[in-house]
Structures are given as C-alpha cells and as structure tokens.
Copies of this chain bind each other. A is one copy, B any other.
Amino acid sequence: MINRLLLGISMLFLVFVSCKENPKNKSTGATVSELNEAVGNSKLGNHPSLILTKKGVAEIRKNLGKLPLFDASLAEVKKEVDAEILLGIDVPIPKDYSGGYTHNRHKRNFLILQKAGALYQILEDEKYGKYVKDMLLQYEAIYKTLPVHPKTRSYARGKLFWQCLNDSNWLVYVSQAYDCIYDYLSEEERNNLETNLFRPFADFISTGNPQFYNRVHNHSTWGNAAVGMIGLVMNDEELIQRALYGIKNANLDPNAKDNDGGYINKNGKAGFLANIEEPFSPDGYYTEGPYYQRYAMYPFLIFAEGLQNVRPELNIFEYKEGVLLKSVNALLNLSDADGEFFPLNDGQKGMSYYSRELVTAVDIAYEHGNNDPGLLSIAIKQNQVLLDDSGFAIALGVKNGNEKPFNKKSINLSDGPEGKQGGVGILRNENLELVFKYAAHGSSHGHYDKLSFSLYENGEEVLQDYGLARFVNIEQKGGGNYLKENKTWAKQTIAHSTIVQNETSHFTGKYAIGSKHHSELFFFDDANENIQIVSAKENNAYPGTQLHRTLALIKDEAFSKPFALDLIKVTSDKKNQYDLPYYYFGQIMETNFDYKVESSLKPLGKKNGYQHLWKNASGEIKAGHLLFSWFHKNKFYAINSTSTGNDKAILATIGANDPEHNLRNDPGLIIRREQTQNTVFASVIESHGTYSPVSEFSVNPNSAVKSIQVVFENKEFTAVQIKTQQDKEKLFILNTISSDKTKKNTLSIEGKDYQWVGPYTYTNK
C-alpha cells in the first residue's frame, strides 16, 4: 500500500516534469501547464515562497503588535540578530571540530542568516537584507577555492564543517535566507551566488559525497532537504529530483560502513521520500530514537513545508498516511514530564521539546495538521514561535485562547517501516513514566539493549538509561564527537536494565547481527487505568535463549503510589549466568542481604562493558527475596525482587577503565543468577516515600512490600505473589503463550482457582 503510494507520487513527478501533455493532477485538479505556470512565476520574483510566503508575510505585517507570542519571538530574534550585526560578519577559514571556534561561528552564521532573512521580510528593513547579502557574498568568495575540511575523522568530510552533515545543516537554513532576500538581490548577484556557492555546495554534499547523501539515515535526510530546499528556491528541477529520489546510479558498496559502524547503504534506497518511508513506523516512531528523531525533524518538516508551499500538489504531509505529522505527536509523547526526550539509543540527556527543532515541528504540525489545540499548550511552554506562516498560525491560536492540555498517556509506538519490527511502549500512571524498548536496532545509533526499560517520576530519572557517551559540541571532550566509551560502555547491554547472558552483549554486540533482528510485542494494554502494561519477547539476542519481559505500572490502594512490576521469564537450551542490572541514583538505605565491601576496587569484568564497572561489593541473597532501598533527592525508593536462594547481588559503580573520565560515576545494582537454564525474575520497584530536609520529617520511608515470590510456573503460566507489610497478598498471573485478550484463562494455585479473561490478571490472593 505504502509502496504503491510512493510509486504514485513518483509517477506524478515524472509526469509533472517531463510530460508534454496536459493531464489533470489527481490531488489538486490543476493541469501541468498551470503548474508550470506556477513554477514560472516562482522564477519571476515571487519570493519568498519557501517557508515564509508572500501571503503569509502580508498577514504577519498586518498583525504586528497584535499577537503577543509572535511579537515576543520577533523581538527576541531581532535582539539576537541586531547584536550579531553589531559584532560584524566573520566567515573564518574552516579549521575546528564541533565545539571549536570556526565550527561554532559557521553554525551561528547559518542560524543568524535564516533569522535575518525573516526579519528582512517582516520588518521591511533593508539592513537585514544587506546583512544576509554581505555574508552570502563572503561565503561565495571563499567557497570556490575552499578545500575539503582539514579534520579527517568523518567518512564524509564537509567544506565548512568537518562533516557533510553540518554543511547540509548550513544549506537548509541558508536556503531560507536566500529565498527571503531573493528579490532584494540583482540578477547578477543571484547568478554569482547560485553559480559559485549554492549549486556547487549542493553538488558537493550530494554527488560529491554519495556515501553521505544516498542513504536512509538522518545524515542523508539533512542532505536531501538541503539540496531540495535550495532547489526549490532556485527552481532547479534537477536538484529537486535529486532531493526526492536520491542520486541515480550511485553504485555504493553495500558493505561499506560509516563512522558509527552503520552500513552506508545496504539496500540501495535513497532520497527524501525513502527517508520518510524507511525509518518512520506508521505510528511516527523514528527507528534511531527520539534524540535523533528530534534532530531529523527539522529537515523533514521544514523541507516538507517548503514542498507544501511550492509544490502543494505533492501533498507531502499526507505521504505515508500522514506520517510526518504523526511523528510530531510520537516525539512529544517520547518526552518526560519536563519535556525531555527519553535517551533511547544514542541520546544526549537534557534535549527536549524546547529545542528549536521542536518549535519548528510543533508550529508546522499545527498549521498543517488541523490546528490541534494540544499543540498550542506545548507552544505556550516553548514560549517561542517560528517567524513564518506556521508561527503566525500558532500565535493566532494562542491569542484566541484555543489551547488545550497536551495530555501524555500510555502509548505504544511500533517500529519499522511497516510497524512490524517491535516498538517502544511508554506506560504512564500518575507521576510515573516507564519506557520499555523492544524495538529494531535503531540504525547506526542503536544500542544493544532489547527489552530494557527506564523509569521516571515527575520528569526525574528513578532507574536510568545511560544514554550516550558524548558531550555534543563540547570541544574539550573528543572534539564534541562520540567518545570511544560510547561503544565500549554506552552501547553495551550491561549499561541498560535488561538481561545479560554470560557477560556478553545482545547479538554479541555486532551491528551486522543486531540490525537484522527486532523484539516482538506480546501485548500492550492501557485499557485499565489502574494497570498500564506492556509485554514483549526477544528470541534472537542470545541464540537458544528466549527472553520475555512484562512491565506494568500498577495503582493499588495497598501502596502509597503506583509501583512498577517487572517480570522476566528466561527460557534457554542450556545453563547460563544471567545478570539483571538496575541503575539507580543516590545512596543505599537498606538491604536485606549481607555484602562484603571490597577493600580494593577492581573492574567487574574484562569486556562487553563490564570493564567499565567498579565492583564495590557483593553478597548472597539468602532471604527468600531481595530488598534494596535507596534515597535520592529527598525521595525513598525500593526494589524487592524474587530470589532463588542462590542469587548474588553486586553493587557497582560506572567508571573503571575510563582514563579520560568520560563516564558518569553512577551506581548500579546487579542481580546475578549463575548456572541457571530456565528462570523467572520478578521485581516490584517503588517510589514510596519522601523526606523534607527543612521539616526533617520522613513520609513512608519504608517499602510497602514484605515479600515477593514466584508461586507458580509452567510453560503457560507464571504467577507472582506480592505480600505487603500489612500482610495483604496480591497475585499477578501471566499467560506467557497466548496474548489473546478474549481468551478465558483458569489456573489453580495452592488449591485456589483463578479465572480471568486476557493474558494477565492482578488480583487479591
């Protein structure tokens, strides 16, 4: 179906471009000659037309001073650009990696150029047009003779920056600036810029670097958008075609890899449309994860908006059943209570929907997505809008008081082009958020952590996903690029809260294997507001071993707050050692096991991430279950977990074999089960109490759980009993074979019969 749609659009374009006849365009009803006339117009001084439009600018000018949110953003941008104009133009010869001066200067230049262009249109003040023109001419002057960037680390070196990716960023922004001052320039100036700067620039990042451009990857999305946007402004059909469909006959080696270890192009797909097609699931989840989805959103949406404005007959926002707009909704749901994105795969913590990319995404999604009033409440938090038609639409909506809360609820987002490669499940219950990853590998930015999870409360991490090992744009730390600990630690399975078998990462940490597989959803059920639950299986991470994890956020009056239930069933064809890590924060309060603290700390292992863990202490869990409680930022937490009687608890700290101190020294608890074939790990994780350092009172400082144990287990059912301090007994039973929501299940445990419908029940014992 999707492929047919793609084919249809391709056909339309072929017709549009080359056909001599005059068939009706199916979407718009316009004839090609009418369209050609429109194209012709865009050549004849019809700018701006790309992001700002002539009609939009007229509306904006008419309403200046009337829409507070727009006026505030305009004032902010004006202040910023005016300050830069005062500083004077600097177009330095490129020299540095990310974070260095020339990198930062060129980055700042393109951001300011785009803003100055918008100011020129909105304020009709020539100073902004002149500033853009002057800087562009300086770029033109150096570009002709500029060699490839002197830093050699990238598989696709740029000219202004150390990688083509950043050069593409530049062109995406500068295309907009050029569009805004197009009519301000003389024809000769335009010819010079296009001949000496824009066209060679677009060629360099595309035909000059097919290994960068002709991929399905966020890098290429930027490249495609850059080439397409300047193509739209210049009305250069060849560039537009190259943007949408990639370079024909690029003949890339299907086994070549990029710097991150990802395949350059294994299946030959390329171009902007393929980049929408492949990495987005039908639910709008982007396979690399939210951090890169955020990064990619900008070129996706800004180029889509340009296409919508200049080529409305493409109906780009309806492509793949409207996936671009769905992706904005998905991304907003992939953020915690503070709007910060969950750091799945390579994700830098702290990135949020306050970023400029999300301002763009929210504004464009509002304008082109039926004016969803929930987006207005996000825009109000962002307190910033684009200085274009979409920002105007948002500001108008806010002015008219149309906003409604953007309510984040539990959501299941499928992964894979057709939504069949696992996914990400987010459970929400009161102030808790649980993020469960059972997705595809996530391209070159993927980590080896099938069925891992992280837990948040009020936007604060309770059990963390480490995220990436990188300080983006901080030059002191490896030029701001990925650090080697990203591969040796952050990507490894032990860095995540999931099962590690025999101290080896999933898929032995090999991209060639991991990228072929994905986990499978067993079920997701958010129907019962007291029990939000997701369950998935992973059969390929360790050949011969099946992992089945079920996670729930359960609200039960026997507990002061909702708690997380974590149930893992492991089935294997041989005996193994299983490690289950939980990375908490803060200080240990209490354990119910004795442990021996090491007088001299050694790494926990030699490889697969274990070499980065200091082993602080270990002990045997001799009680029927493990209790581990801790205290962080004035909150009390506890894990209660079933034990076989032979389990070990290891207390560890991240940071061994880290000569540059690139890692955060966060603590972890590892539950270790040795010499075991089939087994079940079941844990209750609570945020149960609070402390005030001002009143010095504690509220609920102790776990509500007295014990937890697996009370029944066979091929079909797993049952866990949780006993509270008040001796209330709760039972959770899972049918591990059938996830049929209509199936009637019956099971007798300790002489009592239980009956329920669907894959699980949570009940009093």
Contacts and interface: CB of A to CB of B under 8 A. Distances in A.
A691 to B, nearest CB: 7
Interface stretch (A148-156, A314-322, A594-602): A594-602
A473 B634 CA distance: 12
Interface stretch (A197-205, A348-356, A511-519, A539-547): A348-356
Given A350-B694, A355-B694, A597-B659, A701 B590 contact: no
B476 A104 contact: no
A631 interface: yes
Interface stretch (A35-43, A157-165, A661-669): A661-669
Contacts of A691: 473-474
A665 B697 CA distance: 24
Given A600-B601, A665-B653, A477 B695 contact: no
A53 interface: no
Interface string A78-109: 00000000000000000000010000100000
Contacts of A697: 104, 473
Contact of A696 (B473, B587, B600, B661): B473
Contact of A474 (B588, B603, B631, B658): B631
A698 B600 contact: no
Interface string A463-493: 0000000011111110000000000000000
A104 B601 CA distance: 39
Interface in A565-611: 587-590, 597, 599-603
Contacts of A661: 587-588, 651
A184 B665 CA distance: 61
A614 interface: yes
Nearest to A598: B601
Nearest to A349: B693
A615 to B, nearest CB: 10
Contacts of A702: 476
A501 interface: no
A665 B651 CA distance: 13
Contacts of A356: 695
Contacts of A99: 698, 701
A354 to B, nearest CB: 5
A589 B693 contact: no
A410 interface: no
Contacts of A665: 653, 665, 667
Residue of A104, A691, A696 with highest tally of chain B CB at under 10 A = A696
A693 B597 contact: no
A206 to B, nearest CB: 25
A629 B661 CA distance: 12
Interface in A519-538: none
B597 A354 contact: no
Interface in A340-368: 348-352, 354-356
A352 B476 contact: no
Q: How many copies does the complex hold?
A: 2
Nearest to A661: B588
Contacts of A349: 693
B350 A472 contact: no
Given A471-B631, A631-B471, A667-B665, A351 B693 contact: yes
A698 B471 CA distance: 11
A695 to B, nearest CB: 7
Contacts of A600: 600-602
A476 B629 contact: yes
A47 B48 CA distance: 82
B634 A350 contact: yes
Nearest to A108: B697
A520 to B, nearest CB: 34
A625 B356 CA distance: 41
Nearest to A662: B587
A354 B597 CA distance: 39
A218 B105 CA distance: 59
Nearest to A689: B474
A698 B691 CA distance: 35
Contacts of A693: 348-352, 472
Interface in A639-668: 651, 653, 655, 657-662, 664-665, 667
A385 B662 CA distance: 48
Nearest to A107: B697
A460 B465 CA distance: 26
Contact of A354 (B104, B355, B599, B694): B694
A587 B485 CA distance: 14
A99 to B, nearest CB: 6
Contacts of A599: 602-603, 657
A297 to B, nearest CB: 14
A665 B664 CA distance: 12
Nearest to A653: B665
A478 B231 CA distance: 71
Contacts of A694: 350-352, 354-355
B597 A698 contact: no
B589 A476 contact: yes
Contacts of A601: 600-602, 614
A302 B144 CA distance: 80
A588 to B, nearest CB: 4
Given A350-B694, A597-B658, A602-B600, A589 B474 contact: yes
Residue of A99, A597, A601, A631 with highest tally of chain B CB at under 10 A = A601
Interface string A672-699: 0000000000000000000101111110
Contacts of A355: 694-695
A658 B597 CA distance: 8
Contacts of A662: 587
A225 B473 CA distance: 59
A58 B723 CA distance: 55
A471 B634 CA distance: 11
A489 to B, nearest CB: 14
A354 B351 CA distance: 33
A126 to B, nearest CB: 29
Nearest to A357: B694
Contacts of A603: 599
Residue of A356, A590, A667, A701 with highest tally of chain B CB at under 10 A = A701
Nearest to A294: B694
Interface in A686-744: 691, 693-698, 701-702
28 contacts: A99-B698, A104-B697, A348-B693, A350-B693, A351-B694, A352-B693, A352-B694, A355-B694, A472-B696, A473-B691, A473-B696, A474-B631, A474-B691, A474-B701, A475-B701, A476-B589, A477-B589, A587-B661, A587-B664, A597-B657, A597-B658, A597-B659, A599-B602, A599-B657, A600-B602, A601-B614, A616-B655, A665-B665
* Top-6 shortest CB links A-B: A350-B693, A601-B601, A588-B661, A476-B589, A476-B590, A597-B659
Given A350-B694, A352-B693, 4 more contacts: A587-B662, A588-B661, A600-B600, A600-B602
